[in-house]
Amino acid sequence: MANATRALLPAAELELESVPCDLCGASDTRERYSKPDTRYWTSEHVFPVVQCRRCGLVYVNPRPTAACMARFYPSGYHERRDDARSRARYARQLELLELREDALLDIGCANGDFLAHALAARPGLRAVGVDAYSPGVRDARIEFHPRPLPECGLAAGSFPLVTAWAVFEHLHEPARYFREVERLLAPGGRFVFLVTNAESFFSRRAYREDVPRHTYHFSEPVLARYAGRTGLRMTRCRYDDRIFDGRGKGTLRWLFARAAGASWPAVRRGLNPLQRTAAGAGRLLDGLVFGPHWEARLRRSGILVVEFRKSAPRA
């Protein structure tokens, strides 16, 4: 809750749009909560996070347009992803994948660091990366496409494995991407991806969704509906804190701070002594309550690692 000194994006430069539900097309929503960009403080604008009453999808609405969204990604956003902590994360991702395929497409590959890690483990792998916001990849063995996935023109049925690690919550049209993944997967191929869990303390009470960059907040039932509508099958859903920390740390900090009268503008400009004391007490309790990984064991973690499969043709 430290002060932020970053220059704010002028309100006149915020291009916002209201959209129907990406999953079912309805416009009947209820507001869950609202928050500004508490990560970078690009703007003090407070973004509503709503839930579709019909299908349960949670999303930011109104939200920045796709053209405006680049303003919320500061320079260097894709950097510092090959340090020791990141390499440990890539190793865990490979462990979850149990990589046995001969080709891998990684959506939102950033600088290609995870693909380079996969190539080190499987040198003969065909590694393809897609990222609309990255200028390039560091490893010349990676085939890179600097544009949105549906605009890459990749051949249908050409990948036995597609991955996306913390990407789909950033999209403006997840249904379009799910359909494109289905088109690109070979029969029997699998899509393994990581997203945040909208039903967790992480998302609902600790406010750790990266609003407005996290435009969509998923859950296991919602993802099952996406799979069914796309022609894929959900074959696995793990609640896992070992790639990213999906615990609800922050829940009690925010609860105590709000009880002491803290507001989002106060968070940016500085809490008063009473609010700082309350927030500090909440932070200590957060460490005790959420220190163990009980949320993952109870299937309430803030992080989901999901597998979809494309059916193989019957003999």
User: Are the C-beta atoms of 134 and 110 separated by less than 8 Å?
Assistant: yes
The more confidently predicted of residues 292 and 13 is 292
* Residue 140 falls inside a structural domain: no
DSSP letter for each residue of 121-154: H-TT-EEEEE-TT----S-TTSEEE-S-GGGS-P
Domain presence at residue 22? no
Q: Token match 């499969």: residue?
A: 309
Residue 267 lies inside a defined structural domain of this protein: yes
Report the chain's C-alpha Rg in angstroms.
20
C-alpha span between 14 and 138 (Å, rounded): 33
Cβ neighbours of residue 255 under 8 Å, at least 6 residues apart?
205, 282
CA 117 vs CA 129, 134, 269: distances in Å: 13, 18, 41
Structure tokens belonging to residue 178 = 């799910």
Domain count for the chain: 1
Given this model, what pLDDT does residue 4 score?
A: 55
Give the mean model confidence (pLDDT) for residues 120-140. Answer: 93
Confidence (pLDDT) at 8: 84
**C-beta atoms surrounding 159 within 10 Å:** 23
Q: Within a domain: residue 262?
A: yes
Distances (CA, A) of 314 to 4, 159, 179: 58, 19, 21
Running DSSP on this structure, what letter comes out for residue 8? P
DSSP state of 6: S
Distance CA 89, CA 113 (A): 11
Structure-token match 């090959």, residue found: 82
Mean pLDDT of 38-65: 96
Q: What is the pLDDT of residues 57-115, one digit of tens each?
A: 999 999 999 999 988 988 777 666 677 888 899 999 999 999 999 999 999 999 999 99
Q: How many CA atoms lie within 13 A of 246 on its CB side?
A: 28
76 vs 244, residue with greater confidence: 244
Could you tell me the CA-to-CA distances from 163 to 44, 47, 137, 185, 221 in Å, in that order? Answer: 34, 29, 17, 11, 20
What integer pLDDT is reported at residue 78 of this predicted model?
A: 66
CA–CA gap between residue 90 and residue 95 (Å, rounded): 9
**Per-residue confidence (pLDDT) for residue 6, from 0 to 100:** 65
Q: Residue 67: its pLDDT value, please?
A: 92
pLDDT on residue 3? 52
Q: Is residue 158 part of a domain?
A: no
Residue 278: inside a domain, yes or no? yes
- Six-digit token pair at 67? 């053209």
Check whether 176 has a pLDDT greater than 90: yes
- Does the pLDDT of residue 163 top 70, yes or no? yes
Q: Tell me the percentage of the chain whose pLDDT exceeds 90.
A: 86
Question: Is residue 172 predicted with pLDDT exceeding 90?
Answer: yes
- pLDDT tens per residue across span 177-207: 999 999 999 999 999 999 999 999 999 999 9
How far lies 34's CA from each of 194, 209, 253, 261, 283, in Å? 24, 11, 17, 16, 21
- Give residue 274's domain range: 251-290
Number of helical (H) and strand (E) elements in the chain, helices listed first = 10, 13
Helices (H), 44-144: 66-69, 84-97, 113-121
Interval 283-309: pLDDT, tens: 999 999 999 999 999 999 999 999 999
The model's confidence at residue 5, banded by pLDDT at 50, 70 and 90, is: low
The answer to whether residue 76 sits within a structural domain is no
Dig out the tokens for 120 from the structure: 């080190």
Q: Is residue 107 part of a domain?
A: no
Assigned token pair, 115: 């693909």
- pLDDT above 70 as % of the chain: 96
Q: What is the dihedral of CA 72, 78, 83, 84, to 10 degrees?
A: 70
- State pTM to two decimals: 0.94
pLDDT computed for residue 133 by the predictor: 84
Half-sphere exposure of 37 (CA within 13 A, CB side): 23
Q: Are 277 and 259 in contact (CB under 8 A)?
A: no
CA-based nearest residue to 191, from 168, 214, 209? 168
